[in-house]
A = this chain, B = another copy of it.
Amino acid sequence: MNKIKVLVVDDHPMVLEGMRSMLAQINFVHICGTVCSAYGAVESIKQLTPDIVITDINMPEISGIELALKIKNEFPDVKVIAMSTFKERSYISQMIQNGASGYLVKSASKEEIEEAILSVYEGKLYMSLDINLSATDKQELDNIPILSSREKEVLLLIADGFTNPQIAAKLFISLHTVDSHRKNLLTKFTVNNTASLIKLAARYNMV
């Protein structure tokens, strides 16, 4: 059996080293390279022709989300596994939409990484969301409200400091409508003013 060629992209040398060390223990995996920025990633893929790219989501300048899109466009056969701390839950769906096949938390064990690589290599999806979360973390995830797209728009504009009339003008809707969305946001987040709303939204990486 040919080894699965894996390229790792992360801006933290420490994580790269960790991945390198962990992947070295998996016999069916060959680490064909590690890259510390999304800039070098595309070039490296061209040269090293990996089967799977494991990439951090949070990177300066070019995020893992954009990188996933680029990879899917230029190298449709290359599978992408996104990696991050559990906190960036809201980014995961974007990552999947951009063609990623898997999601790993950075607290993943060697076994999980192994499973993720195998699953993704076989064309399946792999998600390691529920693992390694503390009880409070899980509860937090469950409490993240589901917003409509319009509500998301309004939320972002609120967070950027726009007043209701300004938001109404921007979205070409009535002031009353903005007010309704705003009320619904407060209800969905079970808070009673803007400060709490934005604090929570920030914690969930929605703003």
Contact = CB atoms under 8 A, between A and B. Distances in A.
Contact of A18 (B15, B85, B202): B15
Nearest to A157: B195
Q: Is the interface of A mostly helix, strand, loop or mixed?
A: helix
Interface stretch (A44-52, A74-82, A107-115): A107-115
Given A134-B61, A199-B160, A17 B22 contact: yes
Copies of the chain in the assembly? 2
A60 B107 CA distance: 11
A195 B194 contact: yes
Contacts of A17: 17-19, 21-22
B194 A106 contact: no
A188 to B, nearest CB: 15
Interface of A: 11-22, 60-61, 85, 106-110, 134, 136-137, 158-161, 163, 191-199, 202-203, 207
